[in-house]
Copies of this chain bind each other. A is one copy, B any other.
Amino acid sequence: MSPFFSSRWVEVPDWVREDAAGGLPAGFRAAGVAAGLKPSGGTDVGLLVSDAAETTSAARFTRSGVLAAPVLVTRERSRLDALRVVVANSGNANAATGGRGLDDAAKMQGAAAMAGGVQADQVAVASTGVIGVPLDSRAVVSGLARARSELRPDGDADFAAAIMTTDAFEKRASLEVDLAGGTVRLCAQAKGAGMISPSFATMLCFVQTDAALSADTADLLLGVCLKRSFERISVDGQLSTNDTAILMCSGAGGVTVQAESEDELRFGQALDALLRQLALAVVRDGEGARRIGRVVVRGGHGESVEGAARAVANSPLVKAALHGGDPNWGRIVQAVGMALPGTAPLAVDVGIEGVQVCARGGAIGFDAKALAQAVARDEVEYVVELPGEGQETEVFFSDLSHEYVTINAEYTT
């Protein structure tokens, strides 16, 4: 059993394995330094560089109406299909910082371009941390000068450390993927623990491969895989101002993944497993969380499954019950009802870990002791079946704990 792929909810293809040696794919170097943005003095500025001139990329950003300056700068000024450098900082989100924030993000972009030896429009800028406080871009820029000299092929651990905020553990993987054309490497570094209900991505997620993909193929695969991973998780239902996901393909390994080939499928399934497990790691590291729930909703009409699944996943009552190992299925039914006004009486079925607790909207007898044991495990699955021939969806969510309250009652002060 792989230490990275730890969830029963991720299917790991036979052709994917962890790379014990770690480190970045061919063509990439990274570093992380302490620039003084975090009061703790921890690592807070990360630099990731692809040395391959023909690197392709794809990117996705938060859909929030309030976009952080780095998101605006990257989205508007960078060539999203040809990114070669990522500069990221933690300790300050550079969000709601007005014109000065845009200047600061632009300064980060310029300094990182110099550090990486590329044009400014090949640099993606990302920030995470407190909102509404001006960023000390001078500190970031001097940090970048040091980071440049520390760029290493195995610098991904330092880079991952530089993007962490309230994360309790790092989210990072180095994989080998066997394709028909040869073995390629696939790595990722992500961060996120609170303010997590991404439309596109978690707070920050960076993925690298040494395979050669066209920018269109990279964009297609990233979009499809994000829909099954970071778009299906919620820690607290809060969409961030800074969510960014970037896939970079250096091609330095010499293996090309053609569009609509068998290898595209194999690579895509590897990326899917990688992002799904990373997304689950973000949920597991949900601020104060100790277990993960998965709600599956089937049936209904049109889009009703989506609303019902989100309502369950974001219900503080369901999340507190998950925290307490309380098989209070009435709250599942209540959340579904809230999402589907005007449908009463709703003949909903509910099962928890395979134990049916509600049939056609009414309570039925079940083995309470077996259920109590099932809901005390690390992962708890809820299945809701609505009348109708609709779709099926899933949302992963964390529990709501005392620690979440502690962390978020005292974050800025």
Specify which chain B residues have a CB less than 8 angstroms from the CB of A150 in the assembled complex: none
- Minimum distance in angstroms from A398 CB to a CB of chain B: 11
Specify which chain B residues have a CB less than 8 angstroms from the CB of A240 in the assembled complex: 334
Nearest chain-B residue to A339 (Cβ)? B65
Nearest chain-B residue to A324 (Cβ)? B409
The residue that A409 contacts in the complex, of B320, B338, B346, with Cβ under 8 A, is B320
The residue that A323 contacts in the complex, of B339, B409, B412, with Cβ under 8 A, is B409
Check A239–B361 contact: CB distance below 8 A: no
Specify which chain B residues have a CB less than 8 angstroms from the CB of A316 in the assembled complex: 236-238, 316, 400, 404, 408
Check B409–A321 contact: CB distance below 8 A: yes
Check B65–A346 contact: CB distance below 8 A: yes
Complex interface: stretch among A4-12, A106-114, A128-136, A153-161: A128-136
Check B320–A408 contact: CB distance below 8 A: yes
Check A358–B132 contact: CB distance below 8 A: yes
Is residue A96 contacting chain B, with contact meaning CB distance below 8 A? yes
Is residue A341 contacting chain B, with contact meaning CB distance below 8 A? yes
Chain A interface size range: 35 or more
- Minimum distance in angstroms from A50 CB to a CB of chain B: 28
Is residue A123 contacting chain B, with contact meaning CB distance below 8 A? no
Specify which chain B residues have a CB less than 8 angstroms from the CB of A320 in the assembled complex: 404-405, 407-409
- Known contacts A317-B195, A330-B96, A405-B400; A66/B131 CB under 8 A: no
Is residue A337 contacting chain B, with contact meaning CB distance below 8 A? yes
Docked CA distance A237–B331 (Å) = 13
The residue that A96 contacts in the complex, of B361, B400, B407, B413, with Cβ under 8 A, is B361
- Known contacts A241-B334, A317-B238, A334-B240; A324/B132 CB under 8 A: no
Docked CA distance A290–B361 (Å) = 36
> Which residue among A314, A315, A344, A402 has the maximum number of chain B CB atoms within 10 Å of its CB?
A344
Residues of A349-378 at the interface with B, using a CB-CB cut-off of 8 Å, are 357-363, 372
Check A363–B98 contact: CB distance below 8 A: yes
Digitize A92-109: 1 where CB-to-B-CB distance is under 8 Å, 0 elsewhere.
010111111100000000
Chain A binding surface, main DSSP class: loop
Is residue A401 contacting chain B, with contact meaning CB distance below 8 A? yes
Nearest chain-B residue to A95 (Cβ)? B330
Check B333–A241 contact: CB distance below 8 A: yes
- Minimum distance in angstroms from A282 CB to a CB of chain B: 16
- Known contacts A317-B238, A333-B66, A334-B195; A413/B324 CB under 8 A: yes
The residue that A66 contacts in the complex, of B346, B357, B411, with Cβ under 8 A, is B346
Residues of A300-314 at the interface with B, using a CB-CB cut-off of 8 Å, are 314
Check A363–B405 contact: CB distance below 8 A: no
- Minimum distance in angstroms from A159 CB to a CB of chain B: 25
Docked CA distance A316–B401 (Å) = 12
Specify which chain B residues have a CB less than 8 angstroms from the CB of A348 in the assembled complex: 66
Binding site for B on A (CB under 8 A): 63-67, 72, 93, 95-101, 130-134, 194-195, 197, 199, 236-241, 314-317, 320-321, 323-331, 333-346, 348, 357-363, 372, 400-402, 404-413
20 additional A-B residue pairs with CB within 8 Å, beyond A66-B334, A98-B362, A241-B333 = A64-B338, A64-B344, A66-B336, A66-B338, A67-B344, A98-B360, A133-B363, A195-B334, A197-B338, A238-B331, A239-B334, A239-B341, A241-B337, A316-B408, A321-B409, A321-B411, A323-B409, A325-B413, A326-B411, A402-B406
